[in-house]
Structure 1
Amino acid sequence: MVDFVGRREELATLERELQRVASGVGGERPGRCVMLRGRRRVGKSRLVERFAERSGVPFLFYAATGAPNADELARLARDAQVSNLPLAHLLASAQPQNWDAAFDVLAAALPADRPSVLVIDEVPYLMDDSGAFEGVLQRAWDRALEAKPVLLILIGSDLSMMEALNNYGRPFHQRGREMVLGPLNPAEVGSMLGLDAADAFDAALVTGGLPLICADWPRGACVWDFLGEALNDPVSPLLVSAERSLAAEFPPSAQPRKVLSAIGSGERTFSNIARAAGGLAATSLQRSLEVLVDKRIVAVDLPLSTRPSRERRYRVADPYLRFWLHLVGPYIGEVERGRGDLTLARIRENWTSWRGRAVEPLVREALVRILPGNGLPHAPAVGGYWTRSNNVEIDIVGADRAPIAKELRFVGSIKWLENSPFDQHDLAALHRHRAALTDQPLPVLAVSRSGVECTGLDASCGPADLLRAWSQQASV
């Protein structure tokens, strides 16, 4: 199925965990726990459902909704009734009034002579600042659930809260294995959609590697064919996925949502974001940025050099959300009126400048994965460099560490245009900016979508070279 392109490793991990449970049947504590996190709509729930269905063991899948406890417990009872746990009826009969009692009944309903799977989806909806649910879960695990041959899978989309679940000092610390499900990488997107390397990067930037959006992309279609169809459908995954994800995180009037929209519009500095968000006070903006960064929705970049810098730049971490916030979301009304053609024309007009900036994080990630090689040394950290006035800006800086390096290892420039190769003028500009960063003759790299037409480079990369950073993981 298309939604499992690139998911073999994750399925294998879950299968190994279940096998460990099975091998412990009859032992004192055969139970095991996996804490699976990943941003919304990457396919976490579907992955676990597929795993549980094909495992052949009894399983219960319960998804929290953020409702009051009484409603959540009633939902748990209903989900148990439609599950294939042999004693699931106990939960409906007992009608537990709190989570302590519910876990006691669940433990009684789990088989003792064969493995089973218990899934709790959207765990952060059940958590609060007091840690009450975490304490209940910890007690239930220690005194009852772990004694059963069960694989407990806890799923959550709030990355910071799921990480906190296993933090030192929290009740459930070290009781489960952490697992992260990411979006499809560019090679997986290209494999799934039948695209060449350059078009695979375009698709990865527009879809963010979200399986649901990729599944809506006709195989072999270019980005403009896909957008032409998606923007004529007001309920296409491209249009609705971002709004649904944001609605689950913030109400439309929430201040962090306004700040996110300002960053999505292209503002990157603190002062410009404050202005674009309606003239927010510094303290209010700082609180909103902390929320967005904590939730991994916004990333913070610092110049990579041997000198400390305060020139922070903010960006939307997810390429799809970045695309939607800048080029789609503000114009949903056009699509709903049947004028997706206007939105498509606007995207075409802004595409080159937007893509040139949006591809930079993917290029840097690819370089970290493929180096050393191609004439360049190993660089554990690959970032960029800029000054406050932007009169010096270097797309790629390789170093031994970030953001303050001990040793710079190379510099590079990205030219991601359709029909304009990297030329002697681009190389001269890179040399000038390198001189402003360091007096060392660091190797110079060109990353170009359309090839290179100059001499004097130490290395160059094109889309196919970069895609190989992930190709070994791609599967059909």
Structure 2
Amino acid sequence: MKFYDRKKEQEILLQNKNQSEKSACFTVMVGRRRIGKTSLLLESVRGQKYLYLFVARKNENLLCSQFQSDAEKMLGLKIFGTITQFRDLFEQLLIFATREHFTLIIDEFQEFESVNPAIFSDIQNLWDQYKDKARINFIACGSIYSLMMKIFENRKEPLFGRLSSKIILQPFSVSVTKEILREYNAKYNPEDLLCLYLLTGGVAKYIELLMDAGAVTHKQMLDMVTRADSPFIGEGKDLLISEFGKEYGTYFSILQLIASGKNRQSEIDSIIDKNTGAYLVNLEKEYSLIVRNKPMFSKPGSRRARWSVNDNYLRFWFRFIYPNQSLIEMGRFDLLREYIDKNYEQYSGLILEKYFREKISESVRVTEIGSYWDSKGENEIDIVALNDLDKTSIIAEVKRNAKKIDMVKLETKVKSIQKHLAKYKTDIIGLSMDNM
């Protein structure tokens, strides 16, 4: 799959590169695995002098031997003798940068924690020593969110306060996802687009896997996802076990419950039979995997909050793949597909709401967007979008089938929040798959 979009990020990276030609620049890029960080960084340095280093979990001596070889091949930097410690290599690179400008990309930067945790202190000491004279564009790239935040944002860590720039790479927008599907399937229909969004959430690698395999329709996508050799089957576990460590069982149980619709802490606590408050906070704040959704117009401490899995692929995985491990172990992928088909319409309807919230956020001037529900569960509104600058608002009901949208009922629900909308010019609309 060719390179798509990322114009804003490329602009930031270019600005940082230009700055680094005068004084050292230290950028961190963080994003979930498979989102396209490496592709973006390599695209940004095309035609420039750069060194790309990938931190594998191996002995520091072996890693440095590989890095020394890479530095000679990519920069022409000849270092006499054998380097066995990263600090010595990093110092040589900084000295080289006092003579010649280049970009240094270190991928999976957080893995230095496994190689030798002292490397972070070594980088800090050498950076402080050379940054005023080295013309280096240093980019640290990482995919384990919790570790990367600890390394750079914990006041007790040596690299705290050293960054010039921080980029958190997000999935492709719905418009880019649509553009990619159109290039591979000019005759796509709304069901195809919804399925691609539902399975990938705009994550570049997942889109690439589907498109390159010719899975460009709703049926073909679900066929590929439920094949015995599908990379989507084990991906959820591969992504998260390294994040959660020994407690992965409890975290997986919580995520499975949230994905299945048990989205209040009281519900989760009663099923797991323990207080999950600390786990939920970690999943939200440390791992950035779930979101605490409050009704629009509610007070900050509202107890009506509902949790949701933020990542579309992981939401799908915890809803359909993880709970059906026994089917997978028996090789009954036909029954797994049948289970998905049976629940697909209801599940995709919820994802369609998220799709339209993203689409409105991207294409319309809004300052806040969410949903509304009251304490009794009588009045639920799928989308409430506000523009506090222009004093306009959009209220929307979302259904897969346009014929099922009841505008009279929606207008009745809007009356329950009329006092909050008094200062806004409000559009009340229905959104269906026809509007994607």
The two structures have a TM-score, normalised by structure 2, of 0.84
> What does residue 322 of structure 1 align with?
315
SS of aligned partner of 2:223: helix
Say if 1:146 and 1:317 are closer, same or farther in 2 by CA, change over 3 A.
Answer: farther
Is 1:230 aligned to 2:229, yes or no? Answer: no
Q: Which amino acid aligns with 1:5?
A: Y
C-alpha distance in structure 2 between counterparts of 1:318 and 1:38, whole Å = 12
> What does residue 5 of structure 1 align with?
4
Is 1:435 aligned to 2:423, yes or no? Answer: no
Cα deviation for residue 237 of structure 1 reads 2.9
> What does residue 244 of structure 1 align with?
238
C-alpha distance in structure 1 between counterparts of 2:220 and 2:81, whole Å = 51
CA distances 1:59-82 after superposition (whole Å, capped 9, x unpaired): 1413253x6xxx245313323313
Q: Which of these residues, 345, 349, 370, is aligned with residue 383 of structure 1?
A: 370
> What does residue 353 of structure 1 align with?
346
Cα deviation for residue 303 of structure 1 reads 0.9
C-alpha distance in structure 1 between counterparts of 2:334 and 2:372, whole Å = 38
C-alpha distance in structure 1 between counterparts of 2:51 and 2:373, whole Å = 53
Q: Which of these residues, 89, 94, 97, is aligned with residue 83 of structure 2?
A: 94
Report which of the two has the higher share of helix. 2
Contact (CA 8 Å) 1:134, 1:172: kept in 2 or not?
no
Equivalent pairs: percent with the same residue?
21
Contact (CA 8 Å) 1:33, 1:151: kept in 2 or not?
yes
Residue-pair matches, total: 418
C-alpha distance in structure 2 between counterparts of 1:105 and 1:187, whole Å = 44
Q: Which of these residues, 169, 172, 178, is aligned with residue 190 of structure 1?
A: 178
- Report the RMSD for the aligned CA atoms in angstroms: 3.2
Cα deviation for residue 48 of structure 1 reads 2.3
Contact (CA 8 Å) 2:13, 2:44: kept in 1 or not?
yes
Q: Which of these residues, 63, 70, 85, is aligned with residue 82 of structure 1?
A: 70
The correspondence of residues 150-229 of structure 1 with structure 2, limited to 5 A, is 150-163=136-149, 166-167=152-153, 169=155, 171-173=159-161, 175-194=163-182, 195-196=188-189, 199-218=192-211, 221-229=216-224
The two structures have a TM-score, normalised by structure 1, of 0.77
> What does residue 289 of structure 1 align with?
280
Contact (CA 8 Å) 2:192, 2:216: kept in 1 or not?
no
CA distances 1:43-93 after superposition (whole Å, capped 9, x unpaired): 2123324444x334141413253x6xxx24531332331342556553861
> What does residue 431 of structure 2 align with?
448
Contact (CA 8 Å) 1:115, 1:150: kept in 2 or not?
yes
SS of aligned partner of 1:445: strand
CA distances 1:148-177 after superposition (whole Å, capped 9, x unpaired): 222111112233554555549564415321
Say if 1:253 and 1:172 are closer, same or farther in 2 by CA, change over 3 A.
Answer: closer
Is 1:421 aligned to 2:414, yes or no? Answer: no
CA distances 1:126-154 after superposition (whole Å, capped 9, x unpaired): 459xx965543222112125522221111
C-alpha distance in structure 2 between counterparts of 1:347 and 1:150, whole Å = 50
Contact (CA 8 Å) 1:31, 1:150: kept in 2 or not?
yes
Cα deviation for residue 317 of structure 1 reads 0.4
Contact (CA 8 Å) 2:51, 2:104: kept in 1 or not?
yes
C-alpha distance in structure 2 between counterparts of 1:359 and 1:252, whole Å = 35
Cα deviation for residue 314 of structure 1 reads 0.5
C-alpha distance in structure 2 between counterparts of 1:187 and 1:317, whole Å = 19
Structure 2 residues without counterparts, runs of 5 or longer: 183-187
Q: Which amino acid aligns with 1:383?
A: G
C-alpha distance in structure 2 between counterparts of 1:242 and 1:444, whole Å = 40
Which shows bigger deviation, 361-370 or 33-42?
361-370
